[in-house]
Amino acid sequence: MDDQKIMGTGKVELISREELRLSGVKDVHSFNEETVILETHLGLLTIGGQDLHIVKLNLEGGELEVKGIIDSFVYSDESSLFKKGEGIFSRLFK
């Protein structure tokens, strides 16, 4: 896992739109049953769906597993979401 952190890589595995496994996760910013927003080595990732549950989170290993009905997952460049003096929610809900 140390090589992964140095290189800044990540892996996304989607199984039948009901299970999403990720590597390269740095932090989880927020989550509820419809949205999970997390920081990865490749930028911010927003996962959308229904009845979403985080069933595994290992920040030391950079691993996350989400179960539910996955409708979307979108990467965003962190610099485009954060401007000086603005938080993530003020940018997302404009």
Q: Are 20 and 47 in contact (CB under 8 A)?
A: yes
pTM given for the model: 0.74
Spans of all domains in the chain:
2-78
| Closest C-alpha to 39, from 80, 75, 90 | 75
Q: Give me the pLDDT at residue 9, please.
A: 77
Which pLDDT belongs to residue 6? 44
- Are 26 and 58 in contact, with CB atoms under 8 Å apart? no
**Domain 2-78 indexed as CATH 2.60.40.2000:** yes
Bridge partners of 35, per DSSP, are 48
Residue type, 22: L
pLDDT tens per residue across all 94 residues of the chain: 444 444 467 889 999 999 999 999 999 999 999 999 999 988 899 999 999 999 999 999 999 999 999 999 999 876 555 554 555 555 556 5
What pLDDT is recorded for position 77? 75
